[in-house]
Structure 1
């Protein structure tokens, strides 16, 4: 399968799991605060719906970025556009947010599958992608919107106490996150990272030979990489103890 086909399947899996979770929320759940500063669960759902609309239409995503830049010049281009998404859906009922979110899933998958190759290299920011490289539309559509929806499933579970939305796309998303972590780490002396818990696996970041073997809870490391404050930190199982601190400070785009 092509990268676009893989991404489309990932979207279908992640968004269907999210839609099921949103449908199961109680009225009180919608007002719960989340790990996203200033956002309730309702704000989070409005953002997720906006991200779907962006994924279906390049003009929509570019238009929201222009509006976000004008309204929120102090924010990053993505954070400003996210806030515009929330504002665009402020008048919708929670039932309508849920209905539209689920209804959009097939169209989002189709849009990603058919994303024009000619547009994939169009930059929307000069340095936001891994390695301080340009953030391009293809990466935004194939990777970031998918990763963002997946991470918000963790946010939703933490806010409501309900089970985390889990789908068949877990391996795909976590693999992309760790790949980008490796790019951010760069060619410096490397580490082996063992992820434990419900998200597990073994990755190498950096160059060989490695200087340390680190262990981290998979969910908490992904939260840390996104800039959220994790409940637990990576620990050095062997080797250079400072490598655990470096991993804790590492960030990738979500």
Structure 2
């Protein structure tokens, strides 16, 4: 993924914002159609996840194709958007409901992976409140920082040491 992302930056880095928008409007319908045609058999195949590159320790070592295509790659694009915004000193617009929905999904997977009780308050426009069981650790942090920690971009302790794929 890192090499693919670097190639994309090299190929499109010189485009103006208007050219980038036009290119996205052209390719997006084809990309969605391609995703929808992906073989149901490949969606079920459990494949190894490479533990090198940007993969943080503690990440799952195997994942099925459907989860990778439908969930992980979407999260990856979302978090790269946040990374790019930070690198260019811009604020990403996280006010749309799809951002909160993505983080809700991340919190649910994280909760399943560690299976411990907790109360989680995510702040910011994409934030929300989540709870599992009673008497667990209470965490309050920015929603984007939560995603960055679970992806391995930042260190996490306690329950936040449990990673999910991005």
Pick the TM interval, shorter chain: 0.7 to 0.9
Offset of residue 88 of structure 1: 7.0
2:90 to 162, 166, 179: 162
- Structure 2 residue 42 is matched with structure 1 residue 119: yes
Q: Deviations over 1:74-133 (max 9, x none)?
A: xxxxxxx431452477355522882544422112222233433222112331698x9846
Count of residue correspondences: 156
Q: Secondary structure at the match of 1:150?
A: helix
Any conservation in 2 of the 1:181–1:250 contact (CA below 8 Å)?
yes
Aligned residue runs from structure 1 range 169-180, under 5 A = 169-180=98-109
Q: After the TM superposition, which parts of structure 1 deviate over 3 Å for at least 4 consecutive aligned residues?
A: 87-93, 99-102, 130-133, 165-168
Q: Whole-Å Cα distance in 1 between the matches of residues 145 and 66 of structure 2?
A: 27
- Structure 2 residue 59 is matched with structure 1 residue 147: no
Q: Whole-Å Cα distance in 1 between the matches of residues 28 and 14 of structure 2?
A: 17
Relative to its length, the structure with more helix (as a share) is 1
Q: Tell me: CA distance 1:102–1:247, structure 2 relative to 1, closer, same or farther (3 Å).
A: farther
5+ residue gaps in structure 2? 52-57
- Structure 2 residue 17 is matched with structure 1 residue 108: no
Q: Deviations over 1:3-61 (max 9, x none)?
A: xxxxxxxxxxxxxxxxxxxxxxxxxxxxxxxxxxxxxxxxxxxxxxxxxxxxxxxxxxx
Larger Rg: 1
When normalised by structure 1's length, the TM-score is 0.52
- Structure 2 residue 14 is matched with structure 1 residue 86: no
RMSD: 2.9
Aligned residue runs from structure 1 range 165-244, under 5 A = 165-166=93-94, 167-186=96-115, 188=116, 190-205=117-132, 208-229=133-154
Q: Secondary structure at the match of 1:107?
A: helix
Any conservation in 2 of the 1:226–1:251 contact (CA below 8 Å)?
yes
When normalised by structure 2's length, the TM-score is 0.76
Any conservation in 1 of the 2:44–2:64 contact (CA below 8 Å)?
yes
